[in-house]
Amino acid sequence: MEMTEKVKLKKQLNVTDLSGEKVMIDFESGKYFMIKGAGNDIWDLIQEEITVGEIIDKLLSEYEVSRQECEESVQDFLGKLRELDFI
């Protein structure tokens, strides 16, 4: 995904916070998912439209990680969400 590409969650899931992890249930598919750590932060950020670059910048201000590692992690996470048709 390009850094200027805008992303936003397009599918509303039933989400529960459980001991620092988010547990999501997709009633359409019957699947459930768990995310933790920076995934929680990305999930919160994509509730509203935001660019990939803005997500990375916000995470870099919160976590001690290299830009390259952050970009790779964000791209991987967003790619999985796109595969699931969540964004």
- What span, in angstroms and rounded, lies between the C-alpha atoms of 69 and 87? 22
pLDDT of 48 = 95
Q: CA separation (Å) from 68 to 14, 56, 61?
A: 32, 10, 14
For residue 23, how many C-alpha atoms fall within 13 Å in the half-sphere facing its CB?
A: 4
- What span, in angstroms and rounded, lies between the C-alpha atoms of 63 and 31? 30
pLDDT in tens, the chain (87 residues): 999 999 999 877 888 888 889 998 888 888 888 999 899 999 999 999 999 999 999 999 999 999 999 999 999 999 999 988 888
- What span, in angstroms and rounded, lies between the C-alpha atoms of 30 and 74? 25
For the entire predicted model, the pTM comes to 0.86
